[in-house]
A and B are shown apart, each in its own frame.
Chain A
């Protein structure tokens, strides 16, 4: 039996409208409001063990507190599935459903599902984190929303594969998945070209993302006293790649101590990078990670100090998300260690 906890707001919980939006979370055993229909749709494989009701204003104005409180309530029931909403086009309700679903997924590790109208602000905020069934913009769409949510929920709880957004009725999550199409790529390109020439409609297979461009920082004016760190995506690692950083599509980065190291030699360092002929980097890894030059600069007083550690990964085929994750972790360490500037080398 799949144990389900359901989350709804004060309105669907029968407490009241806007005037009651500040009520604190409460838990009731069994089903409440739309939970009746949900129970029917879930059928005999699942049971709604508890319903949590919370005021939309209270939740949004006390985000952390309310989330923690609700998580505690849910935990007690040890559910296998968490369902929130449907919120239709109610903005604060949608945000609450999304927030609590994400918190449940992250903290309790159980599948979650919600339902919203595509323009609900909760969709943009949370569609990447969870499956949100696509609903109408008002409660008149309850009859369609409930079966869609329960179907998704059951599949997730049973660990069954989730099909495409069109097949399953959820809002696209921005997750790329491989599929085989009817025609080969070249033919699809020619068809798209002809459609574009004729001014006919066509669907791009990859919509351009909002590109994450990073504005450069202000220059360091006092280099003589600056602590400089070396960071590379060129894959320079101690000989034999102790942490087994992948030659492509890196899932990790390395942090290595270069205290007292004046020069990277063929005997001590190499590259793990699979995207270029490694001969020249292996002969002299300073070509990619210029420790030797920075040691000279240190001696000459051009820079204050070379940071004791360098950070390294392989840029080759590594996803932007991984690169971002690595950098946001070690950037904090660099700041903590008093590093003023980083020389970032690529290949």
Chain B
């Protein structure tokens, strides 16, 4: 399967008469956008705003971040199972508005939504301080149940990204990247001497607002399976998650999964990157046993020599991470894990809720409990008040001047467990 990703660099974002990309500027017609995303009776209003890198702007509480993309050649469309039909995606040509993002925000759904600061300390930790963000602030009807609220807002975000992505359909990309994965036997024939590696992609599926979707299917209900890496780039996997903001994978991160990108980088040179095994993180022991057995079985089936395993979330899924590691290692397959830590505010606690001696190669994205100070901002898109109650906040997190003292947990994408950032932790 071969995909050409055409990146169109977006340097600025403005409201305009027509939705279009011109000289690296993305113009959005607000009225048309609202028509494209509106119509859900569960939302009483949707407001649109813009946040650009360097501005003294805080967006919170943030639900999801999505990159606008459009499929220009090949079967299917972006976000199969939600926006497009369930055709197999990941081949042909896709255009990306690189540097732009859709951010969904507004009244809190659960407790686990995040903060994006466009400047100051917080901006150093979130990848989305570097993107030009089109923010949709959604207000639900009164007494709307949380899962319905989440679903309504999720659809607004996906529709907005698809609508804006269309603006890139007929634009010549500034950069073209080609990604190709051969069917496994052909790949082995082409690289007979290279070790075979795969990526074990753990998806957050603890349920009750911790959900990830694959081609429209709630990933709680899958058994581990195989997927071409390029399918992910067309939105085959997306987030319906209200797990802590710092280490859930926003849809943007799924689309741009850096483990996939970096595995491609040395593919054909240091190893043969044969593909991706997706698995879930369900809460019952039977589910955990079944899924980790299955992941190890697939790794053996593919004749792998090594895997990278990434976690999503923390605590309960630490067990899935360790079970995957232990069972895959037991097949004689080498493992590298990517996770983050909850070592307490003082950093002195044990970092994970589980451990196994086979986990001897671990990349960490940092201690999410570490406390940070966020300065007050001139402009707030959304609401500041949830600062005390979102995951990572505490009584008194929000100060009268609008500054916030909270755990790093509150920052969207700060301790990405798919290795999106340079942040890490070390022993002092």
A: residues with CB less than 8 A from B are: 128, 162, 164-165, 172-190, 192-194, 196-197, 202, 204-209, 211-212, 244, 246-249, 251, 273-280, 315-322
Residues on A with beta carbons closer than 8 Å to the beta carbon of B344? 319-322
Q: How far is the CB of B335 from chain A (nearest CB, A)?
A: 8
Q: Is B369 an interface residue (CB 8 A)?
A: yes
Residues on A with beta carbons closer than 8 Å to the beta carbon of B111? 247-248, 273-275, 278
Interface string of B105-145 (1 = CB under 8 A from A): 00000111000000000000000000000000000000001
Residues on B with beta carbons closer than 8 Å to the beta carbon of A184? 258, 262, 419-422
> Nearest CB to that of B206 among chain A residues?
A276
B: residues with CB less than 8 A from A are: 110-112, 145-147, 195, 197, 206-210, 242-244, 257-259, 261-263, 265-266, 270-271, 305-306, 308, 310, 314-315, 334, 336, 338-339, 341-357, 359-370, 389-395, 407-409, 416-428
Assess whether A279 is in contact with B145, with CB atoms less than 8 Å apart.
yes
Instruction: Assess A209 versus B350: contact at CB under 8 Å? Given A184-B258, A202-B361.
Output: yes
Assess whether A249 is in contact with B209, with CB atoms less than 8 Å apart.
no
Residues on A with beta carbons closer than 8 Å to the beta carbon of B422? 180-185
Q: How far is the CB of A161 from chain B (nearest CB, A)?
A: 10
Assess whether B208 is in contact with A277, with CB atoms less than 8 Å apart.
yes
Residues on B with beta carbons closer than 8 Å to the beta carbon of A165? 427-428
Assess whether B343 is in contact with A194, with CB atoms less than 8 Å apart.
no
Instruction: Assess A317 versus B145: contact at CB under 8 Å? Given A176-B347, A246-B393, A249-B392.
Output: no
Residues on A with beta carbons closer than 8 Å to the beta carbon of B262? 184, 186-187, 189-190
Residues on B with beta carbons closer than 8 Å to the beta carbon of A278? 110-111, 146
Complex alpha-carbon distance, A165 and B427, angstroms? 8
Residues on A with beta carbons closer than 8 Å to the beta carbon of B210? 275-276
Interface on chain A toward B: helix, strand, loop, or mixed SS? loop
Residues on B with beta carbons closer than 8 Å to the beta carbon of A164? 426, 428
Residues on A with beta carbons closer than 8 Å to the beta carbon of B209? 276-277
Instruction: Kindly list 4 other residue pairs between chains A and B, CB separation below 8 angstroms, not including A187-B419, A188-B424.
Output: A185-B418, A188-B363, A197-B270, A207-B362
Instruction: Assess A185 versus B416: contact at CB under 8 Å? Given A162-B428, A205-B424, A249-B342.
Output: yes
Q: How far is the CB of A174 from chain B (nearest CB, A)?
A: 6
> Nearest CB to that of B406 among chain A residues?
A249
Complex alpha-carbon distance, A175 and B422, angstroms? 19
Q: How far is the CB of A64 from chain B (nearest CB, A)?
A: 25
Of B258, B344, B357, the most chain A CB neighbours within 10 A belong to B344
Assess whether A193 is in contact with B308, with CB atoms less than 8 Å apart.
yes
Assess whether B197 is in contact with A193, with CB atoms less than 8 Å apart.
yes
> Nearest CB to that of A179 among chain B residues?
B426
Assess whether B263 is in contact with A190, with CB atoms less than 8 Å apart.
yes
Assess whether A176 is in contact with B341, with CB atoms less than 8 Å apart.
yes
